[in-house]
Amino acid sequence: MTGPPSAGHSGVADPGRSTGSGAALPSLRESVAYVAALGKPGVPQVLTAARDRGRVAVQPRCGVAEHTGMRALLRFLEAEAAPDVLSLTIDSHTRLRRFEEAERLLGTRPQELNGYPLVAHGWRRARDLNEAVAAPLEVRHGSPEPQRLFDVAVAGGITSFEGGGISYNLPYSKEVPLAVSLAAWEHVDRRCGELAELGLVVDRELFGTLTAVLVPPSISLAVSVLEAVLAARAGVRCLSVAYPQGGHLEQDVAALTAIPVLAERYLPPGVTVHPVLHEFMGVFPRARRHAEDLILYGALVARLGRASKIITKTHQEAAGIPDVRANIEGVRLADRANSPLLDFLSVDEDRVREERRWILAEVAEIVGPVLEGRAGTSAAVAEAIVEGFADGTLDIPFSASRFARSQIVPRRDPEGAIRYLRAGALPLSAKSLRRHRDLLAGPRGSLPSAASLPAILLADINYFPSLFREEPEVRGEPEVRDASKVREEPE
């Protein structure tokens, strides 16, 4: 594609770094004008167009350290797989605001960086990436304090930014207080509001995937609701609510179709909300045919759940970082679910409706105490979130943070749906808790003992390899791999 020349970029293949970690950025108004002149739709427009056409937009994960490699990777993915949105996955040092270390490694040992150090490269190189492909870019990272990263991304013309003050803190960081990350993300969301007033709507994707391990749908959606309320109050006009595929068809479809209901219930008019499915984030089967079955299954779930977008996986997921060919094949395979030949596919609507009813009720029980009486002030909501995680009335399973209790113990019921075995101090009603207990007990009428719990949880985590009857020794066998690795991801 062609686009306007970047400020300071005269069309050379690899524009020099422009900012490092502290140089000046263009004004918001100049950045808005740049995106307008770029001549391609932003992520919000792509998602709306996909939704209106009744298809699911497809997006891979990808990120490498060096600029020329990143540029070539984006162009290759677009030429071979034509994804609707392309990713710029950020390295760990930048996520943790170690900008100088990221810049040092970029100049000495770039192979040690596990993603694209955007702040070190600078906003002119971000514009160069933007101009290299027709698809819009999203920044995916995992940073609890992303202000500088966001400002560089916006200056680079990037129109989607993933994360939130809860979901990009508690799964990744041990020592960052929630109040700090919530304040940092308020900066991002207020910037989005300023940009919207100038005419540029930035998609803010919320990371409901959380720790990606056995996440009950209602806690994923409850966290997203709280982040969405804060974002909307700060001025965000486009929100993508990402939900992680759990593996049970009706439960996953119910969760995706609950998102528009939650948006109408908790967000003001004028905020566009898109459901997004992250293909299964847990232990992937090792055999290629099994992994591809799971990828296609996820794409069908996204279609049946009327998601606006799916984030894809690859058949090399169990072995580590996939190569570029596997990434291309993953995008192509997921996009097959958009075929009109599959219009006959359906799901048991009665079971979905019943599951959705319970998910919505549980979300209301979790977020109600946080939001009630705090209609007018975001600071009060943020304070209530901090207090909620401190006393356990808000919680997520398997958190890395000392600011979450992690007293939730999830497990799969006999049909594979994810339930609360223990809900910690979540304010779920007795009726909701009884339903989880009954579904987990199943026909056996009994729950696991404390002694058997570790083995049961391990079996639940290995659900799909076990479903495909992959033996542990088979799963441990290395596969032949291409040497070129194409991405790291925060998830």
Q: Look at residue 24 and tell me whether its pLDDT is greater than 90.
A: no
Residue 357, number of CB atoms within 10 A of its CB = 12
Q: Look at residue 456 and tell me whether its pLDDT is greater than 60.
A: yes
Catalytic one among 162, 279, 365, 488?
162
Report the range out of 2-6, 12-16, 371-375 with the highest average pLDDT.
Answer: 371-375
- List the Cα angle 224/50/272 in 5-degree steps: 40
CA 467 to chain centre: 25
Q: Which residues pair with 409 in a beta bridge?
A: 422
Q: Look at residue 485 and tell me whether its pLDDT is greater than 60.
A: no
Catalytic one among 95, 237, 303, 411?
95
Question: What is this structure's pTM?
Answer: 0.92
User: How do 86-89 and 238-244 pair as beta strands?
Assistant: unpaired
**pLDDT bracket for residue 134 (50, 70, 90):** very high
Instruction: For residue range 61-101, list pLDDT tens digits in order.
Output: 999 999 999 999 999 999 999 999 999 999 999 999 999 99
Residue 125 to residues 30, 99, 307, 357, 440, Cα–Cα distance (Å): 16, 16, 32, 47, 52
412 is known as an active-site residue: no
| Structure-block tokens of residue 331 | 């995008």
95 is known as an active-site residue: yes
Instruction: For residue range 352-386, list pLDDT tens digits in order.
Output: 999 999 999 999 999 999 998 766 688 999 999 99
Mean pLDDT, the chain, as a whole number? Answer: 91
Phi-psi region of 464 (alpha: psi -120 to 50; beta: other; left: phi over 0): alpha
Q: Look at residue 110 and tell me whether its pLDDT is greater than 60.
A: yes
Q: Look at residue 58 and tell me whether its pLDDT is greater than 90.
A: yes
pLDDT of residue 483: 36
Higher-confidence residue of 123 and 8: namely: 123
Q: Which long-range contacts (CB under 8 A, 24 or more apart) does 335-341 make?
A: 335/58, 335/81, 335/299, 336/296, 336/299, 337/56, 337/296, 337/299, 337/300, 337/302, 337/303, 338/55, 338/56, 338/58, 338/299, 338/303
Instruction: For residue range 161-180, list pLDDT tens digits in order.
Output: 999 999 999 999 999 999 99
Average pLDDT over residues 422-445: 92
Average pLDDT over residues 98-109: 97
pLDDT of residue 302: 98
Q: Look at residue 22 and tell me whether its pLDDT is greater than 90.
A: no
Average pLDDT over residues 221-225: 98
pLDDT of residue 471: 76
Q: Look at residue 449 and tell me whether its pLDDT is greater than 90.
A: no
pLDDT of residue 320: 85
